[in-house]
Chain A
């Protein structure tokens, strides 16, 4: 139990400390301190195989464990990168930035533990509020516009999710007041008595609301603007951590639907949104001129794949969990190197960036490798997870879905390849103006480590990880 409390409180305490620190140069190190403490606590959970809990509202289950580990690992990587990044950007005060990042960590940890739908909602809303200041770090009109759109659209989405949560509560208490309303472990045994029309309405609103946070089409419109204007570090955290938390919320919802026997209603909706997101991403990827927005659409695509896997069920659910891990890691590679490229070339338009391999050899190579990874090419991990989902679809005989899935993947590969290859290769422009900073250890070691992790996951999944993913998949399926 203390582990749980510490995991949630440590970032908050460190946030207070970092708020009090005067120096902009020393403050980023608090991020590393908090991240290291967080990761070591999570590692201890793995070693001791404990399932801590506080009361019934906060407790760890297999799904939460996977998400929590991902959050912790990604935040550790981000914090190391952040030190290098913030030292390069010392002209901007970073107090709000660092404090908001730490609150973000705390809020996402609460999401991973929460077993109560109301608490889940409060924590996800807190992540929205904590991440809004992060988008505005560059303090220019474009990032301001992006922050407003992010704030408004995500707040509306979360508000609809709250309505869905209320619907769920009505469904739960329809027969009369119950013990532990909206509490997942208590709801699952009595799921058969949930009022069906209210459950359906709740599912729709929760899907739309949490789907907005995930960035599923057609609620994805904030993603290109937000990821396009945010610093690469923030894009990495949003696309890796925040989307995984929103996915966890969808998983909890699916658990309830599964227990209530309403999966026939839920599956088509999930599959529809998944394919729609992939399709939208494919369409907008072609002819994209801004390489950060391209990454945003890639994120939309992968969220679509996750939802598709969740909707297909069976083997595809395992694939979805594996994909969540791989996606977070690979997105890290892409966003962080994109940030390096942006700072060097000072432009986000892909046509103005050429010859990255010459100017920034390490970042260029990592960017290229990241592109190969994210589009699902072997030997990287995403190939395994996407292939697993494909096998799940073929196993069910859903040939239409298979065709759409493969088609979208192909189009996205082509679209991204056009942009990335032209950026990475070619002759660098001869500029009189001095280009930005070159590669440094701190800004390239993190993407390198993340890429290595994706590569390892593509070749070999360690048994403890495999076991956890299986447990998480079984949790969703309602199997013991």
Chain B
């Protein structure tokens, strides 16, 4: 089962690299949806001895939320905006890919410095989580469309959730539900704001949001 977990974690990183390197917004949203599904399946692989109805329900809820509902909200936002492609971001797609690979290396390096908690099954969870967090921040900072910034926020949250997976014993299900709800509400509000911005400004390019200055 550890190998399946490793495959899922690899696909998480691949989804990040895909978002960093590609421009069709629809494809990026689908990549993040697949990432969410992979993350939903991870708890079942990482804690095989704790499999219970509770875990299955959480996994199902996660897959539903991250794989269907949240991407659905984002698709609705871009359908209204009729924007299908991302502009060339601040650092370019090629440089983004290169930086993404560097961040993966950095994530593995930092994770090597932190002592591994004794009860984790897979030693790849912490590095993948840290890399995903960093790559989410990279997407937020460099993207030209605000929908991509929201996508970067989702990737960031996915990375943090990945890290939370090693704590299944430490963090009660209530908090997980609370976290999920908050993320959902956050994305919902973001989607609403994106629609409003499209209506006001006529586009969802972040280059238009420059009126507030010193």
- Identify the A interface with B (CB < 8 A): 116, 118-119, 121-122, 125-126, 128-129, 132-133, 136, 141-142, 144-149, 151-152, 155-156, 159, 162-163, 166, 169-170, 172-174, 176-178, 181-182, 195, 197-198, 201, 224-225, 228-229, 284, 288, 293
B169 pairs with A125, CB closer than 8 A: no
Alpha-carbon distance between A169 and B176 when the two chains are bound, in angstroms = 13
A197 pairs with B171, CB closer than 8 A: no
Known A-B contacts A119-B175, A155-B153, A197-B114; A142 and B212 likewise in contact (beta carbons under 8 Å)? yes
Smallest CB-CB separation from A141: which chain B residue? B200
A144, A174, A225: which contacts B196 (Cβ < 8 A)?
A144
A182 pairs with B212, CB closer than 8 A: no
A135 to chain B, nearest CB (A): 10
A122 pairs with B209, CB closer than 8 A: no
Tell me which residues from 135 to 177 in chain B have a Cβ below 8 Å from any Cβ of chain A: 137, 140, 146, 149-150, 153, 156-157, 159-160, 163-164, 166-167, 169-172, 175
B163 pairs with A163, CB closer than 8 A: yes
B177 to chain A, nearest CB (A): 9
A312 to chain B, nearest CB (A): 30
A142 pairs with B211, CB closer than 8 A: yes
B156 pairs with A118, CB closer than 8 A: no
Alpha-carbon distance between A94 and B122 when the two chains are bound, in angstroms = 51
A129, A181, A288, A293: which contacts B189 (Cβ < 8 A)?
A129
Smallest CB-CB separation from A154: which chain B residue? B186
B200 pairs with A118, CB closer than 8 A: no
Smallest CB-CB separation from B171: which chain A residue? A169
B153, B164, B175: which contacts A156 (Cβ < 8 A)?
B153
Please, which residues of chain A bring their CB within 8 A of the CB of B201?
A: 141, 144
Interface centre among A125, A129, A166 (most CB of B within 10 A): A166
Smallest CB-CB separation from B194: which chain A residue? A148
A144 to chain B, nearest CB (A): 5
Q: Is B49 interfacial (CB 8 A cutoff)?
A: no
Chain B interface size, as a band, is: 35 or more
Q: Is B133 interfacial (CB 8 A cutoff)?
A: yes
Please, which residues of chain B bring their CB within 8 A of the CB of A125?
A: 182, 186
Known A-B contacts A145-B211, A148-B197; A129 and B182 likewise in contact (beta carbons under 8 Å)? yes
Alpha-carbon distance between A74 and B186 when the two chains are bound, in angstroms = 26
B114 pairs with A198, CB closer than 8 A: yes
A197 pairs with B115, CB closer than 8 A: yes
Known A-B contacts A122-B179, A125-B186, A170-B167; A225 and B114 likewise in contact (beta carbons under 8 Å)? no
A161 to chain B, nearest CB (A): 10
- Identify the B interface with A (CB < 8 A): 113-115, 117-119, 133, 137, 140, 146, 149-150, 153, 156-157, 159-160, 163-164, 166-167, 169-172, 175, 178-179, 182, 185-186, 189-190, 193, 196-197, 200-201, 209, 211-212, 214
Q: A129-B182, A156-B153, A172-B170 are in contact. List 19 more A-B contacts (CB 8 A).
A: A116-B175, A118-B179, A148-B193, A148-B197, A152-B149, A152-B190, A155-B190, A156-B156, A162-B179, A170-B167, A173-B169, A174-B115, A174-B118, A177-B169, A181-B170, A229-B212, A284-B214, A288-B214, A293-B214
B154 to chain A, nearest CB (A): 10
B153 pairs with A159, CB closer than 8 A: yes
A219 to chain B, nearest CB (A): 13
Alpha-carbon distance between A177 and B170 when the two chains are bound, in angstroms = 7
B178 pairs with A122, CB closer than 8 A: yes
A470 to chain B, nearest CB (A): 33
A126, A136, A224: which contacts B182 (Cβ < 8 A)?
A126
B109 to chain A, nearest CB (A): 14
B111 to chain A, nearest CB (A): 11
Please, which residues of chain A bring their CB within 8 A of the CB of B182?
A: 122, 125-126, 129
Please, which residues of chain B bring their CB within 8 A of the CB of A159?
A: 153, 156-157, 160
A260 to chain B, nearest CB (A): 16
Please, which residues of chain A bring their CB within 8 A of the CB of B171?
A: 118, 166, 169, 181-182
Known A-B contacts A144-B200, A159-B153, A182-B171; A151 and B160 likewise in contact (beta carbons under 8 Å)? no
A152, A156, A169, A288: which contacts B170 (Cβ < 8 A)?
A169
A103 to chain B, nearest CB (A): 11
Smallest CB-CB separation from B110: which chain A residue? A201
Alpha-carbon distance between A421 and B190 when the two chains are bound, in angstroms = 40
Please, which residues of chain B bring their CB within 8 A of the CB of A141?
A: 200-201, 211
